[in-house]
Structure 1
Amino acid sequence: MSHTLPAPASTSVRRARTRTYVMCPPTHFEVAYAINPWMDPSRPVDRHAAHAQWLALHDAYRRLGHRVELMDPVPGLPDMVFAANGAVSAGHRTYGAAFAFPQRQAEAHAHVDFLRSLGRAVARPEHTNEGEGDFLVLADRILAGHGFRTSTTAHAEAAVVLDRPVVSLELVDPRFYHLDVAIGVLDDGRGEAPADIAWFPGAFSAASRELLRALFPGSWECSEAEALTFGLNLVSDGLNVVLPREASQLATAVAERGYRPVPVELGEFVKGGGSVKCCTAELHG
């Protein structure tokens, strides 16, 4: 059951802020192994459909006025399309990834090389973490997930590297193995409105649920069914919320809170355990 809690008083001042995103074309995308509950190598990816869906997402960002930097895909690394996992950036600082599974570990080096080519200084991690998969950047803090892919020692390391306080949140449902499939940041709090999130309580431990409700009173708590559409794996610029087309209930909810939903179809990528946010890294200013 979903819960409609009081919307923040500032819904009338939603404003978009121009963003810089990093994406990687799905040239080599396939489900060649299973490292999360969504992956089944017996279910083939339609590569033509995947390319069309990815391009529609890319074009949606461009139409909204955002800048998109493109990484070159690397043969043998089918999950590189999930660009959010390769690092996390806040201000001029970037903290690199160290993937939990050997199938993805070489991606970290490709991200470091690419981000350094953009002129960013990247700190290589000593502890296991999967970038923006488990780190969600807000104006004054970073929400950080642990339990499946990212260690709590990486939370402490990220706090030092990124010079931001980190709020640790425990994930307990393996279907929501990354924080960015359990929480969607609707407003990062950099503008006139306070930080605002949508989230699925069932993905978190009791202590983390209590903490999130204290930090974000009035936040949208979505149903399990809506969370399973990957609806929370969204990208927002503070006004426009790009989210999976299947998340119709969430689209209605965010519209009622003053945002503009921008539905897209990314069904092929759900076969790999990701959707909008997984395909999108942000170079947070």
Structure 2
Amino acid sequence: MTADATRARQRLFVHDPITAGCEIELAPEQSHYLEHVMRLKPGTPVKIFNGLDGEWLGTISELRKKKGRITAETRLREQGTETGPTLVFAPIKKQRLDFLIEKSVELGVGKLQPIITQHGITDKVRLDRLQAQVIEAAEQCERLTVPEIAAPVRLLDWVANGAENHHVLFCDETGTGSPIGEVLSQLLAKGAGSVIDNTNVVNHALVIGPEGGFSADELERIRKQPFATPVSLGPRILRAETAAIAALAVFQDRIGDWSHRPVTRD
């Protein structure tokens, strides 16, 4: 790793294609952040990524009046695949939702799917706000992709239409499911859905209920699906955001990417 790359502490997601020598135009809010919050100057090295072209070392070439540009120089990391699961969740209160989004991105979620449930506390989701949080978390945790955020749908509509080609692990607070670690270990033993066995990969979805839990009708409909497996997260009742983080952590430990080496930092 070069000295400039070591000094590049700021990391930005950009929408433009990145090639050696190209000029990346920054959004006004990015320019404002670099100049007035981070107090950076032209000539400062930064890292940039767009989810397609890997991670690049660049240099701030212009920064003034909410206008900025970065010149891409050398690629630091090739683009790789990140095969995290889809997290299907009911919207919760603002601070707790912020926590859920940030930590799920750090834990390698592949897609975020808000769902509307019968016992949910809200059916309003500001996708623009969630998208900004996802990007910020991806920048911070040094992942190369930004998870997709899908538009909210009703849970039973998602089960009927959106869950196709997924193995659905729904966190069942009634206690009928097997421990999630046990279920995932069995999948790994079969070679199904594991990132370790790229010849036999299926999509996984982790379904987290609302603060009030799933309704009896929702539980019955999900249990009837041949692609759905009820799982338990232990003997305690967890808040929705805690359940999401716990399920993602066990997933990454058992069949996900926690066996991969971390990013090299000098």
Q: TM-score, normalised by structure 1?
A: 0.29
Flag the structure with more relative contact order, 1 or 2, with Cα contacts below 8 A and sequence separation at least 6.
1
